[in-house]
Amino acid sequence: MSKKVAFLQGNEAAAHGALYAGCNFFGGYPITPSTEVAEVMSIELPKIGGKFIQMEDEIGAMAAILGASLAGSKVLTSTSGPGLSLKQELIGYGCIAEIPCVVYNVMRGGPSTGMPTGPSQSDVMCAKWGTHGDHPAICLTPASVQETYEEVIRAFNLSEKYRTPVMVMPDEIVAHMRERIVFPEQGEIEVVPRKTPTVPPEQYKPYDTSFGDVPPLAAFGSGYKFHVTGLNKMQDGFPTTKAEIVQAEEERQVRKVDANVDDIVTFEEYLLDDAEVLVVAYGSTSRSARYAVNIAREQGIKAGMFRIKTFWPFPDKQIKALAGKVKGIVIPEMNLGMCSLELERCAQGKTPVLGIFRVDGEPINPDQILDKIKEVK
Amino acid sequence: MSRYELRFSGAGGQGLITAGIIMAKAASIYEGKQAVQSQSYGPEARGGASKSEVIISDGPIDYPKATTVDALLAMTQEACDKYTHDLKDGGILLVDSDLVKNLPKGNFKVISFPIINTAKTDVGREIVANIVALGAMVALTGQVSRENAEKAVLSSVPEAFIELNRKAFSIGYERALAASA
Amino acid sequence: MAFDYEKFLRPGKLPHIWCPGCGHGIVMKGLIRAMDTLKLKKEETALVSGIGCASRLPGYIDCCTLHTAHGRAAAFATGVKLAKPEMNVILVGGDGDGTAIGGNHFIHACRRNIDMTYIIMNNYIYGMTGGQFSPCTPTGHKASTTPYGNPDPGFDIAKLAIGAGATFVARGTAFHANQIDKLIVEAIQHKGFSVVEILDDCPTTYGRRNKYKSVIEMMNRLKEVAVPVKAAEKMTAEQLQGKVLTGVLYKDDSKPEYTAEYAKVIERATAAK
């Protein structure tokens, strides 16, 4: 039987990916250029008995999905730059209270209202450092419509597996362009269920580390009763200021991601075996980069691409290894040098990092990247 | 590489994004090729200048935006002035002859006929001018077959408007052939 | 026999954080009596709060408790209720939390008429942060950030709730302790968004700045200003000057409830499928 295909926009694919992953609650607020996700969810969720709610603001949307997740739902919200700034307060809540949720953020020009319909990649640092305090961060940056679909599913899986908010951040180009998408069959892509308690309610503690760094999470209304707070907490969920407990719990929350980098980090290596010039790219910019690398190869330049699929945690190990082998790293990105900073950190001075930074609302075209590849000596 | 670039441009509300989507759908779903459609638009839901770009190729498409455009549709003078700068030498330029009076300098294969007026008088509804234009672009570019393009049109419009759109597509296709003969 | 509050209290979580003379404990006891009267199942009851002294209340009560971020209780609770409409969802918090930083969520929860009960303990001040003026601090009064007297006019929470679309609005005071559980019972029984404002006192950060000599004086003020709705009907405008109405101020059973309306959306969507 041939698989179902469709010609979809990145945002539409994201919504369908969420549904494949079992999303049954969406809370949102309208914002360009991500609104299509909410529109698709408003059509599809009630058909399967799921819930869609348009909240009064971005913070309310984030709050509603966290509440629904605690009540046992698999939850999604979608937004863009200004909305992401507002949501940061409660993304932090999701991190400390360890509530699974997926935040889909389309990157548009910023800061502030910026360029609502213009593409950008300037939210990637906000994905890690946007909310205050130390916290784990997972952020995926898909580069095609098909990949957006698949990465949203992976985001749900990671968020359930590690009991933490996960962000999917396509740039506006990926979010709004349309491509053919092939839908996987049911069961073809793994869907990770939430780890729920195996102990009886009277023994349940929502942060019980005897089950490992990711304790099981019961749902409100499922026979378990427990306390959830945004304060630093103990294993039973109640607040504490005891130094050793706070330290240990904070470290555990971050360790959920840090100790599992190899499980989370994904990337694509393109023509890297003999590469002398390393182009690192993510999102739609990687498409321009691939085009430029191909032309460079035709012209006899040994260029290759490392495509970041998981932006956070950053692929430190891979970049550090590559940095010792190449003459230079070229990083095209639609911001004034964000990934570039991470690359410099990983390159440790072993190789120069050359940036192409564009914030004018226009995509970085292959010619710009080719020119920069040629600057590497 | 077989990369072929089309741009549908005009004013917001003229349905050009839809026309681009249908062209790309025809190529990627029905013709067995690969296609990417993207767009840029201003804050206006109606008016302003808007463009929809379609890249068609036999293989994977990396860069999703136009580099040098092979075929361009301009439904308004503003769009014609704004979006023809990267039309390639020898490229196809289709314009609405009632609305676009000043053509850009360059070696282009210009085809012009009153697209909106054709929709209004020959098809009977101005609203299908984008499908008339699409029919013309399909005829002029030869990137997808007439049959596959028609399938894409009919699968993209509400049932009640199938005949109207079939007629619009067909008239556009024929008019373009006649105008370019 | 004395009422057994312990059965709804979490063992080992007392003493509470509230100062001597604070009315929040009186409200908590009222809520517990109401939960007992209605025989609410602990596992099926969510108690949701924001940030502030009053918002610490859920930590003491044995049910599903969610201590959210400042002002966000109504929005979190909306998520809980919509995801599991069969749960009883009760919100508690203070005046600053609910009507300043949480004002937007508050009015929209009222507008949706989602079946939850919101108990707002109005002590006219931000207590936890040390006595800054809130949207409910009376004009001219002193707070740590209005050293020359408050220039702001205050909110009437009940009127705000009615105007925003809540379908059950009541007011009590921490002095009239025996009325509190009755108002809460009626609020929870009401199908729709219910607001119960409890006029409260904060001797530590409000009383002492505004020349109240004692907690007793603050409690006496609550006693003096409160006029039951029924009694007020027979009073003149002049007599009502400076008074506050208490009891059930508003009730509307005709407006559709949100989760019931959403169930209809699901019906329509599944029928169209």
Give residue-wise pLDDT tens across range A23-56: 999 999 999 999 999 999 999 999 999 999 999 9
- Predicted confidence at residue A154, as pLDDT, reads 98
Report DSSP letters for C7-32, one per residue: GGBPTT--S-SPPTT-SHHHHHHHHH
Give the tens place of pLDDT for each residue, A199-224: 999 999 999 999 999 999 999 999 99
Give the tens place of pLDDT for each residue, B9-28: 999 889 999 999 999 999 99
Give the tens place of pLDDT for each residue, C173-196: 999 999 999 999 999 999 999 999
Token pair of A342 as six digits: 């991470």
Nearest to B130 by CA among B9, B21, B16: B16
Look up residue C16 and give its amino acid: H
Q: Measured between CA atoms, how close is C44 to chain A, in angstroms?
A: 5
Using the beta-carbon criterion (under 8 Å), do A287 and B62 form an inter-chain contact? yes
Which candidate from A7, A117, A173 shows the least CB-CB separation from B41? A117
Phi, psi angle pair for A9, to nearest 5°: -85, 155
Nearest to C112 by CA among C270, C263, C262: C262
Q: Is A365 on the interface with B (CB under 8 A)?
A: yes
Token pair of B61 as six digits: 């498409």
Nearest to A257 by CA among A167, A182, A183: A167
Cβ neighbours of B61 in A, within 8 Å: 287
Residue with tokens 């109606």: B46
Cβ neighbours of A295 in B, within 8 Å: none
Nearest to C128 by CA among C69, C205, C71, C199: C205
Residues 32-61 of A with CB under 8 A from C: 43, 46-47, 49, 51, 53, 55-57, 59-61
8 Å CB contact between C127 and C145: no
Instruction: From the options 3.40.920.10, 3.30.70.580, 3.90.1640.30, 3.40.1190.20, give the CATH code of B4-180.
Output: 3.40.920.10
CB C92: neighbour CB atoms within 10 A?
Answer: 31
- Predicted confidence at residue A166, as pLDDT, reads 98
Using the beta-carbon criterion (under 8 Å), do A180 and B40 form an inter-chain contact? no
Token pair of A151 as six digits: 């990465």
- Predicted confidence at residue A2, as pLDDT, reads 78
Q: How far apart are CA C49 and CA C64, in angstroms?
A: 12
Residue C213 neighbours by CB under 8 Å, 6+ apart: none
Q: How far apart are CA A300 and CA C11, in angstroms?
A: 75
- Predicted confidence at residue B44, as pLDDT, reads 66
Q: Measured between CA atoms, how close is A367 to chain B, in angstroms?
A: 9
Give the tens place of pLDDT for each residue, A233-275: 999 999 999 999 999 999 999 999 999 999 999 999 999 999 9
Burial class (CB in 10 A: 0-12, 13-18, 19+), A324: exposed
Cβ burial B119-149 (10 Å sphere, 16+ → b, else e): bbeebeeebbbbbbbbbbbbbbbebbeeebb
Residue A356 neighbours by CB under 8 Å, 6+ apart: A330, A331, A332, A333, A364, A368, A369, A372
Phi, psi angle pair for A338, to nearest 5°: -105, -55
Sheet containing B4-12: order of strands: A5-9, A178-182, B34-40, B47-57, B4-12, B69-74, B87-96, B109-113
- Predicted confidence at residue A270, as pLDDT, reads 98
Q: How far apart are CA C47 and CA C81, in angstroms?
A: 11
Q: Is C52 on the interface with A (CB under 8 A)?
A: no
Using the beta-carbon criterion (under 8 Å), do A60 and C265 form an inter-chain contact? no
Q: Which residue of C has its CA nearest to A76?
A: C79
Residue with tokens 């190729």: B57
Q: How far apart are CA B173 and CA B132, in angstroms?
A: 7
- The structural domains of chain C, ordered by start, are 12-272 (3.40.50.970)
- Predicted confidence at residue B1, as pLDDT, reads 54
Strand ranges inside C160-199, DSSP E: 168-173, 194-199
Torsion angle of the four alpha carbons A55, A57, A62, A66, in this order, in degrees rounded to the nearest 10: -50
Look up residue C61 and give its amino acid: I
pLDDT-derived band at B49 (thresholds 50, 70, 90) equals confident
Q: Do chains A and C touch (3 or more CB pairs under 8 A)?
A: yes
> CA dist A310 to A32, A39, A265, A314, Å?
24, 27, 5, 7
- The structural domains of chain A, ordered by start, are 1-264 (3.40.50.970), 265-375 (3.40.50.920)
8 Å CB contact between C248 and C180: no
CB C165: neighbour CB atoms within 10 A?
Answer: 17
| Region of C247 on the Ramachandran plot (φ > 0 left; ψ -120 to 50 alpha; else beta) | left
Token pair of B96 as six digits: 């609405």
For chain B, how big is the Rg over CA atoms in Å? 15
pLDDT-derived band at B40 (thresholds 50, 70, 90) equals confident
Average pLDDT, integer, range A168-193: 97
Cβ burial A30-40 (10 Å sphere, 16+ → b, else e): ebbbbbbbbbb
- Predicted confidence at residue B3, as pLDDT, reads 95
- Predicted confidence at residue B12, as pLDDT, reads 87
Q: How far apart are CA A254 and CA B17, in angstroms?
A: 45
Q: Is A215 on the interface with B (CB under 8 A)?
A: no
Report how many Cβ contacts below 8 Å link chain A to chain B.
56
Nearest to A373 by CA among A280, A263, A310, A254: A280
Cβ neighbours of C81 in A, within 8 Å: 67
Q: Helix B16-25 vs helix B129-141: angle between axes, to the nearest 10 degrees?
A: 40
pLDDT-derived band at B43 (thresholds 50, 70, 90) equals low
Give the tens place of pLDDT for each residue, B153-163: 999 999 999 99
- Predicted confidence at residue A377, as pLDDT, reads 84
Beta partners for residue A179, in sequence order: A8, B36
DSSP 8-state symbol, B103 = P
Residue with tokens 């599944």: C270
Q: Is the pLDDT of residue B45 over 80?
A: no
Residue with tokens 């499928």: C273
Token pair of B76 as six digits: 């308004």
- Predicted confidence at residue C124, as pLDDT, reads 97
Q: Helix C177-189 vs helix C24-37: angle between axes, to the nearest 10 degrees?
A: 50
Nearest to C122 by CA among C79, C160, C67, C85: C160
Q: Which residue of B has its CA nearest to A363?
A: B65
Q: Where are the alpha helices (DSSP H) in B4-76?
A: 16-25
pLDDT tens, residue order, chain C (273 aa) = 789 999 999 999 999 999 999 999 999 999 999 999 999 999 999 999 999 999 999 999 999 999 999 999 999 999 999 999 999 999 999 999 999 999 999 999 999 999 999 999 999 999 999 999 999 999 999 999 999 999 999 999 999 999 999 999 999 999 999 999 999 999 999 999 999 999 999 999 999 999 999 999 999 999 999 999 999 999 999 999 999 999 999 999 999 999 999 999 999 999 976
Report DSSP letters for C61-91, one per residue: BSSEEEE-STT-HHHHHHHHHHH-TTSEEEE
Q: Do chains B and C touch (3 or more CB pairs under 8 A)?
A: no
pLDDT-derived band at B180 (thresholds 50, 70, 90) equals confident
Burial class (CB in 10 A: 0-12, 13-18, 19+), A54: middle
Q: Helix B162-180 vs helix B129-141: angle between axes, to the nearest 10 degrees?
A: 50
What ipTM was estimated for this complex?
0.97
Mean pLDDT of chain A: 97
Q: How far apart are CA C77 and CA A65, in angstroms?
A: 10
